[in-house]
Amino acid sequence: MPSSRRRLSAPLTTIVVLAGVGGLCWWGAQEASAWIEQRSREDVTLALSTAGQDWVTVTTDGLQVRLQGTAPNEVERFRAMTQASSAVDASRIIDEMTVAATEALTPPEFKIELLRDDDGISLIGLVPASTDRADMVRILRNETAAPKITDLLESADYPLPDGWEAATEFGIRAAQMATRAKISVGPGWVKVSAITDSRAEKGRLETGLKQAKPDSVELETDISAPRPVIAPFTMRFTIDADGAHLDACAADNADGQARIVDAATKAGIEGKLGCTLGLGSPSPNWAEAVVQSIGAVADLGLGTVTLSDADIALTVPAEIPEDRFTEVTGRLEQRLPPVFSLHANRERPDDAPQGPAAFIASVSEDDVLSMQGRIADARMGEAVDSFSRSRFTAVNSTLSSQGDVPEGWTLRVIAGLEALDALNSGTVEVTPDLVTLTGTSGDPHAPEQTAARLGARLGAGARYDLSIRYDRRLDLALDLPDGEECVQRLNIIMSESEIGFEPSKSTIAGDPEATLARMSDAMVDCNEFQIEAGGHTDSQGSQGFNADLSRARAQTLVAAMQDAGIDTSNMTARGYGESQPIASNDSEEGREENRRIEFRLMSPYPVRNEPLAAPTALSGVTTDKPARDSGNSKLAPDTGDTGDSVEFEGPQLPTITTTSAASGMVPATVGVSEEFQTMDEREENTRLPVQTPDATTPRPSPRPEDELQAEEEDQNGTE
């Protein structure tokens, strides 16, 4: 019996032990499951709460995490799933969330911004979920040479707004056309803000956008271009019986433009005023000079002021009292910034007694001469006109023939014109007592040489007042190239260079060091000109891609020039793509010729990097002390009692005697320079005929010495 109990107790003990172990395992599993559920619920709840997704209810069932609740929109539902996935494995999440009815919600503002620069194109914004973003990226990649296309768009599940598709297609087209731009696209509208390389490119882009725009899309553009070079820098302001007028206006910056417009408005101009922003100002203080000049005319109440670079001409009618004219012009001269020079003139009343004889002439940069004033008679007027036409490209004359001029008047007039001819631009005023000359020259010694020339022409005792500004760009001794020569140099270097680019890329292939060194030498005296580096390709590839590739290659070359130490501040890059072939694209040789970079001059006028130099003033009385030397002329100041006079050293000058047309005048002896005589001999075969009012056939123009001899004979005959 005992043995039987022992046999039964062993299995029972085993069963009890196994049951205990099983119970413990079950209890442990339950505890582990509860801990996992609690931990998962806490982690997901914390992630959603941190993201502001408090509308989501989180429940757990073992390893499963259920998300429930009503999302405000599809975007928020998607974001809730994303946040929950950051806390637990996404495979454990069960989405039981709902989205609020679409018709009960306000649709979001769909908008795309395409940002394009040299680094590529970025797409930013919110688009409807049905928008084919991949197709947008594909079109931009295939139709442009942008190095990178970045898609940063988000989408929302809403119906397409009216006008969205047409606006999107046009926006992509605009991104292909504008290489540096921000294109904003919304339902039914597109706004393009872009920067172009030139005013011509600005016009082409604006025209292209208008032509490509669908009728259903509204277009707004804000396109800027580099400022033009204005030469000369000009402003003209007038107050007359009809009121105030701003006939011409240039400004060098926006602040100066605002100051000029404000001054003109205060002076009496009504309505919207225009003042062109440009390059080429003669001084950083241009706006100050303009404002002060306008203010002077406003103070006088009548008159005209004209600024041409640093020269200011103020003319007022005779009705302005003399003392008032003197007061205002004196104050203006004191307030003008350095460099600017003032020439003020008060007209003579029509009924006033005849004043002293006066002759005024001015020559522009394009060599056009304008003359006004008195001359002895019609015959002497023809002589002066003939002389002028032999020296200047065109002549506008309003000379009046009057007999009451002093002795030697024609000679004084010709002396003034001869001195004016030595300047690039300027004005000469001749009176019986003084010769006044102002202007610009490329000769640093022009003031001294002009004084010597006047002394050689007029003899001793002639008073002069000179104010001549030196411009190194006009100095023939420096042999500075003009804009066309600069561009020609660069194009020759490019045609002989080994610079190339990797296929379908803007990366320079090979070593450009030798070519860049030659360009550096060529650009030493050319950095003041606006020059365009234009890239060209063959016809392989799409038009948009080729346009971008050619522009990128031109930009790469300009950047390489800058890295080599070349001043490229006035150089721009533009891509022409395949639009301007110089050979056939049907052969490899022709395509290779079409793949090129050409330089083009944007403006013949240099951009002034430094203000104009102040004019050199020289006043005094001429002397007549010719000396024999080796034939070269030297100018030296005289320290005698005549003041700031100038000696003329050179060959002995012959003299002639002239007398005034009026009886009783004492003859005067004046010097006639050898240069003047040889000039006449040199130009004898190229004289222009002079037409008299009743002439039917041209007659030979008199030589200047013949003119003077004729005047002498007439005067002697009169006596």
In percent, the amount of the chain with pLDDT more than 70 equals: 80
Total domains in the fold of the chain: 4
The CATH number for 575's domain is 3.30.1330.60
**Span 387-425, pLDDT tens digits:** 999 999 999 988 887 667 888 899 999 999 999 999 999
Nearest-angstrom CA–CA distance, 676 and 705: 9
Q: What is the pLDDT of residue 609?
A: 73
pLDDT (average), residues 501-510? 88
- Pair 314, 451 in one domain: yes
The CATH number for 71's domain is 3.30.1340.30
- The residue written with tokens 């042999």 in the block is 479
pLDDT (average), residues 158-173? 93
**Span 585-631, pLDDT tens digits:** 999 999 999 999 999 998 888 887 777 788 888 999 988 654 333 33
Quick check: 215 and 188 in contact, CB under 8 A?
no
Residue 692 resides in a domain: no
In terms of pLDDT, which residue wins out, 553 or 356? Answer: 553
Residue 656 resides in a domain: no
Residue 699 resides in a domain: no
- Pair 59, 127 in one domain: no
173 pLDDT higher than 80:
yes
- Pair 51, 195 in one domain: no
C-alpha of 446 from chain center: 32
Of 473, 498, 517, the residue that ends a domain is 473
Q: What is the pLDDT of residue 641?
A: 33
- Pair 452, 578 in one domain: no
For residue 87, what are the domain limits? 26-102
Q: Residues of 203-213 as b/e, b for ≥16 C-beta within 10 angstroms?
A: eebbeebeeeb
Nearest residue to 533 via CA among 506, 505, 513, 511: 506
- Pair 269, 412 in one domain: yes
pLDDT (average), residues 112-118? 92
Quick check: 601 and 571 in contact, CB under 8 A?
no
Nearest-angstrom CA–CA distance, 373 and 469: 25
In sequence order, which residues have a C-beta less than 8 Å from that of residue 106 and are 6 or more positions away? none
Give the pair of three-digit tokens for residue 519.
């360009």
Quick check: 197 and 532 in contact, CB under 8 A?
yes
DSSP 8-state code for residue 9: H
Nearest residue to 369 via CA among 357, 386, 356: 386
- Pair 50, 157 in one domain: no
- Pair 589, 530 in one domain: yes
Q: What is the pLDDT of residue 65?
A: 85
Q: Residues of 637-668 as b/e, b for ≥16 C-beta within 10 angstroms?
A: ebeeeeeebbbbebeebeeeebbbbeeeeeeb
Residue 668 resides in a domain: no
Residue 440 resides in a domain: yes
pLDDT (average), residues 13-28? 58
Average pLDDT value over all residues in the chain: 81
Indicate the pTM of the whole model. Answer: 0.64
**Span 562-585, pLDDT tens digits:** 999 999 989 999 889 999 999 999
CA distances (Å), 314 to each of 18, 103, 341, 386, in order? 121, 73, 11, 30
In terms of pLDDT, which residue wins out, 693 or 511? Answer: 511
667 pLDDT higher than 90:
no
Of 601, 623, 645, the residue that ends a domain is 601
Longest dimension (CA), the chain: 186
